[in-house]
Every structure is written in C-alpha cells, then in structure tokens.
Amino acid sequence: MLKIEAIDVYYAQVQVLHKISIEVRQGEMLALIGANGAGKTTTMKTVSGLLRPRKGSIEFMGQSIQKLEPHEITSLGLVLIPEGRKIFPSLTVQENLEMGSYSKGAKKKRRKTMPEVLELFPVLGERRKQFAGTLSGGEQQMLAIGRALMAVPRLLMVDEPSLGLAPLVTENIFYTINQINQNGTTILLVEQNVFASLNMAQRGYVLENGEIVLQGESKDLLANEGIRRAYLGL
C-alpha cells in the first residue's frame, strides 16, 4: 500500500535519513520504533509531504507521491496525526473536526463521518462548541484522531499518540487505534512505548541514527535480545 524506497532526507546540509526503505501492507498495523532522534518523525513528515527526500521514491497505492503537496497526499487518503496533536486551539471542537474534511471527497462524506467520529469519541460530541485549547490532553488527542478520521484515511500515520498522557488515558487511546485498524484502516504507528506498539502491530521496523537496522514480525522483534535490552529494559 505504501512503499518507501531508499530515501535520503536532509535538514539543510545535515543528513537525517539514510536510504530508508519501508513497505506497509494493506490492512495491517506497522510499528516504526527507535530512540529519540532516530528519524521516526522525519520519516512521517517526509511521507506526508512536509519534507522532501533528496533521493529515493515514495509510492502510495502505486502512485508516486514524493513531489506532491501535503494537501494532495491527504486527499489520496494518506493522513498524518502529527506528534503533539497540532489541533487548532482557538477553533471549536466542531470546527476542528470540519477542518479534517476540507478535501472535496471527504467533505462529501461529512454527514456520514461526523456521526461516526462522535460515536467513537462521545466526549467530543459533548464538547462540540467548546474551544479545543480548553480540552484536556487526552481529549485533544481524541480530537486529533477524530480530525484525521474526518479526512477518510485509507492509511493513517500516527505519531507518538501517548505523548504527555496519563497511563489510563493512553490505554484508551491505544484501544481506539487498534479498533480503527480492525475496522479496516491501515496504520503506520510511531510510539515511544515500544512494548505496546509491537503488541498492537503485526510487523515492525527499527530505526537507529536514520537507518533501518532491523525489521520483522512483531513477535520476533519482541523476542530479540537487542530490542529487549535497548527499548524494553529487560
């Protein structure tokens, strides 16, 4: 569904990603794991069009997308939930959700997707007229997910969904992400909780210093001694 082939990405003259190759299969949840600064968020930004690779290619559903603008990529159904949520704090919950469905295709489906999102997150329905900046951290993360779902994603990229959230709230967010995947949406997940992400995902890639150093089935990565020492503290 998504094929990233040997991309090099730079910030100014500093190379951050080195020949990264990743494949995401339709219907699966794929985890991209690594330490802080490994290049996970850079990978997500590059796929979504916020950064451009100097070398390599990115294909989504067989179409080359590395030269497309972010809004064009989103319109194809490849949608990013960014690290830190990036909601619009001065807009209401309702307005934030509507912003997610700005493309022609998503706007046509708004009458169907809005009730579905509010059924998934009832608290957002209760706070529809509330300014998004006044929501709790967990509610803001729900809003970020809901806004992305309003774009009718075929592949949802989720960057650090548990960042800054309490354990119980994190558990609810993970449950929802898993539910979205089970309902048919493909997911590329970046998450600091390596144990949780590999338990949810079917496969994973390990990123170190901008390079893919390991990939495989999640159960095999969880059993890998290097992974257990570096990321699980075992």
Q: What percent of the chain has pLDDT over 70?
A: 99
Give the C-alpha separation, 171 to 178, whole Å. 11
Average pLDDT over residues 210-231: 92
Q: What is the pTM of this model?
A: 0.93
Q: What pLDDT score was predicted for residue 132? A: 96
Q: What percent of the chain has pLDDT over 90?
A: 88
> What confidence category does residue 230 fall into, taking pLDDT thresholds of 50, 70 and 90?
confident
- The mean predicted confidence, pLDDT, of the chain is 94
Main-chain dihedrals φ then ψ at residue 233, nearest 5 degrees: 65, 30
* Domains located in the chain, CATH noted: 1-77+171-234 (3.40.50.300), 85-152 (no CATH)
Q: What pLDDT score was predicted for residue 234? A: 53
pLDDT per residue as tens digits for the range 53-77 = 999 999 999 999 999 999 999 999 9
pLDDT per residue as tens digits for the range 162-218 = 988 899 999 999 999 999 999 999 999 999 899 999 999 999 999 999 999 999 999
Judged on CB neighbours under 10 Å (0-12, 13-18, 19+), 81 is buried
Q: What pLDDT score was predicted for residue 233? A: 66
Average pLDDT over residues 88-117: 94
